[in-house]
């Protein structure tokens, strides 16, 4: 049974100059100021890595944890109550599931980068439970979907670190306080090994030592390491140290080769992403006359689909990305029009013909409502929707469902050790 114990209101008390009354800032933004101590079992896992508990009066409680949660564990948390539910952060485990494994990361509890350490070999199943909760509530109980867990070898090929002038590391969870690191077991080995080399160069002023963000990235296969600062300046790691570099990062992804400038947005784990997306689209037999590759980046999907299309039209808002997409597709011998444009503004009514495919991989916020309205008038016969935010993806699937029938739904674990996933839908135009 869950128990609740009220805790004194937190925060410094200030006196209102006009009334003389004391004001207490809320413990959480837009929330009541009173926090309560809660103790009870985790009933199930919810989308976003949340654990679900219950108050004594039956109200739902969503609990955030710094490590993986297993259903059935008893925890203690600090919670705030809203009108119909509560939200809180777990502060202690009373009972721990015996399936827990020792975290390979020494700063797992404090670092804000991963939240599924200690799940061990059960990570994929816990993530599947989170996804099932989302799809059941947002898409429907009876909608079939497939789950594609990440292989144990999947690692991050780019990481963002922060330098405060003295230490290098990740931000602490819910804070801009620094958690110093000298390694990162979630990253590809060359990146992890490059962290102390970057720290030494910053500390010794061999690199610009102004506090700020640094990105470390590697290609596929993971070997060479690039370091990019906030101003977009790039250095490459050589045996004798860091040297200024203007060469692109190269990813050899099966039959596809993609190049991009260091610091540019790309898949976190490119080898696994290419394998997962490529295998999925092939199993769905995605092919046609013209591929409308919208939010196309540097050409990942156009390259993966290769000669399954006679022609490609790639639309992306970033100039640099389109420049590299054009080069990548030309090098692959794939005819394409690569356009710099805002997708929502570019898509016309009646886009495409029945033998064409529209593929959309929008930013995390998903599709604009007006774009969904125009896609409802499209002449293309097939639509593939990709989304890295599960809630926004489900919203967009529902927005499109009046004109497009959902035929296939898949969820890919492209973000190991986090609660994030990539969702993909195959939809057919309704008559």
**Strands of 212-218's sheet in order across:** 178-180, 168-171, 158-163, 212-218, 225-229, 234-238, 241-244
Residue 26 scores a pLDDT above 50: no
pLDDT band at 222 (very low <50, low <70, confident <90, very high): very high
Q: Is the dihedral of CA 210, 261, 366, 415 positive or negative?
A: negative
What string of DSSP letters covers 63-82?
Answer: EE-SS---TT-EEEEEEEE-
Interstrand relation of 249-253 and 256-260 (parallel, antiparallel or unpaired): antiparallel
Burial 147-165 (b: 16+ CB within 10 A, else e): ebbbeeebbbbbbebbbee
DSSP string, 338-389: EEES-HHHHPPTT-S-TT-EEEE---TT---HHHHHHHTT---SEEEEEESS
Contact 410, 402 (CB under 8 A): no
pLDDT, tens digit, for every residue of 292-325? 999 999 999 999 999 999 999 999 999 999 999 9
Query: Which distant-in-sequence residues (6+ apart) come within 8 Å of 18 by Cβ?
Result: none
Q: What is the pLDDT of residue 35?
A: 86
Distance of alpha carbon 102 from alpha carbon 238, whole angstroms: 34
More confident residue, 53 or 141: 53
Quote the CA–CA distance of 352 and 404 in Å, as a whole number: 14
Residue 147: pLDDT band by 50, 70, 90 thresholds?
Answer: very high
Residue 174 has a pLDDT of 86
Q: How confident is the model at residue 16 (pLDDT cuts 50, 70, 90)?
A: very low
User: Would you place residue 5 in the very low, low, confident or very high pLDDT band (cuts 50, 70, 90)?
Assistant: low
Is 234's pLDDT higher than 70? yes
pLDDT, average across residues 102-108: 95
d(CA 325, CA 259): 8
Residue 231 CA to its chain's centroid (Å): 24
SS3 assignment, position 279: helix
What is the mean predicted confidence (pLDDT) over 12-18? 36
In this prediction, residue 34 has a pLDDT band, given cuts at 50, 70 and 90, of confident
Mean pLDDT of the region 348-377: 98
Assess whether pLDDT exceeds 70 at residue 32. no
User: Tell me: the pLDDT tens digits for 170-180?
Assistant: 999 889 999 99
Average pLDDT in the 151-159 region?
A: 96
Collect all residues with Cβ–Cβ distance below 8 Å to 184 and sequence separation of at least 6. Answer: 105, 113, 156, 159, 191, 192, 195
pLDDT per position as a tens digit, 385-410: 999 999 999 999 999 999 999 999 99
Contact by Cβ (8 Å): 340, 318: yes
Mean pLDDT of the chain: 92
Is the pLDDT score of 19 beyond 50? no
Q: Cα(first)–Cα(last) distance of the chain, in Å? A: 53
- For the four alpha carbons of 130, 131, 134 and 135, in that order, the dihedral sign comes to negative
pLDDT score of 311: 96
- Type and span of the H or E element at 34: none
State the CB neighbour count (10 A cutoff) for residue 283.
11
Q: How confident is the model at residue 141 (pLDDT cuts 50, 70, 90)?
A: confident
Residue 1: what pLDDT?
A: 61
Cis peptide before 206 (omega within 30 of 0): no
**What's residue 46's pLDDT?**
95
Is pLDDT at 232 greater than 90 in this prediction?
Answer: yes
Angle formed by the axes of helices 123-138 and 390-400, nearest 10°: 40
Phi first, then psi, for residue 60 (nearest 5°) are -70, 145
321 Cβ neighbours under 8 A, 6+ residues apart: 260, 264, 265, 296, 297, 298
What would the pLDDT profile of 271-298 be if each residue is shown by its tens digit?
999 999 999 999 999 999 999 999 999 9
Whole-number pLDDT of residue 188: 98
How many residues are there in the chain? 431
Q: Can you tell me the mean pLDDT for 202-224?
A: 97
Which among 10, 218, 34, 44 has a CA at the least distance from the CA of 130?
A: 44
| C-alpha–C-alpha distance, residues 283 and 285, integer Å | 5
Assigned token pair, 86: 């509560």
- Does the pLDDT value for residue 334 go beyond 80? yes
Between β-strands 60-64 and 50-54, what pairing exists: parallel, antiparallel or unpaired?
Answer: antiparallel
Note the pLDDT of residue 4.
57
Does the structure show a pLDDT above 60 at 15? no
Q: Check pLDDT > 70 for residue 50.
A: yes
Position 6 scores a pLDDT of: 47
């Amino acid at each position: 049974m869950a128990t609740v114990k009220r805790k004194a209101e937190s925060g410094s008390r200030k006196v209102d100059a006009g009334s003389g009354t004391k004001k207490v800032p809320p413990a959480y933004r837009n929330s009541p100021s009173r926090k309560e101590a809660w103790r009870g079992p985790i009933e199930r896992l919810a989308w976003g890595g949340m654990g679900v508990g219950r108050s004594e009066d039956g109200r739902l409680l969503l609990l955030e944890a710094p490590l993986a949660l297993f259903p059935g564990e008893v925890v203690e948390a600090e919670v705030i109550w809203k009108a119909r539910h509560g939200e809180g952060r777990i502060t202690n485990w009373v009972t721990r599931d015996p399936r827990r494994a020792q975290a390979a990361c020494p700063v797992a509890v404090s670092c804000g980068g991963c939240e599924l350490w200690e799940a061990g070999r059960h990570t994929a199943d816990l993530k599947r439970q989170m996804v099932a909760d989302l799809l059941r509530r947002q898409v429907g109980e009876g909608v079939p979907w497939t789950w594609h867990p990440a292989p144990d070898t999947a690692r991050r090929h780019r990481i963002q670190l922060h330098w405060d002038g003295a230490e290098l590391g990740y931000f602490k969870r819910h804070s801009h306080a620094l958690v110093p690191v000298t390694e990162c077991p979630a990253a590809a080995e060359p990146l992890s090994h490059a962290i102390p080399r970057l720290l030494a160069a910053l500390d010794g002023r061999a690199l610009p030592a102004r506090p700020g963000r640094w990105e470390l990235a590697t290609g596929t296969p993971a070997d060479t390491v690039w370091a990019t600062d906030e101003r977009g300046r790039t250095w490459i790691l050589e045996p004798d140290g860091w040297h200024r570099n203007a060469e692109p990062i190269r990813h050899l992804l099966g039959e596809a080769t993609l190049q991009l400038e260091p610091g540019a947005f790309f898949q976190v784990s490119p080898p696994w992403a290419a394998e997962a997306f490529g295998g999925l689209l092939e199993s769905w037999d995605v092919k046609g006359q013209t591929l409308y590759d919208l939010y196309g980046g540097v050409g990942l999907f156009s390259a993966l689909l290769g000669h399954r299309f006679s022609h490609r039209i790639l639309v992306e808002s970033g100039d640099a990305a389109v420049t590299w997409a054009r080069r990548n597709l030309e090098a692959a011998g794939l005819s394409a029009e690569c356009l710099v444009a805002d997708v929502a503004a570019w898509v016309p009514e009646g886009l495409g013909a029945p033998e064409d495919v529209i593929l959309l991989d929008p930013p995390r916020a998903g599709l604009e409502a007006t774009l969904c309205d125009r896609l409802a008038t499209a002449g293309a016969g097939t639509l593939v929707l990709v989304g890295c935010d599960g809630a926004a993806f489900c919203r967009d699937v529902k927005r499109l469902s009046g004109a497009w029938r959902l035929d296939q739904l898949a969820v890919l674990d492209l973000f190991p050790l986090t609660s994030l996933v990539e969702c993909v839908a195959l939809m057919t135009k309704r008559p």
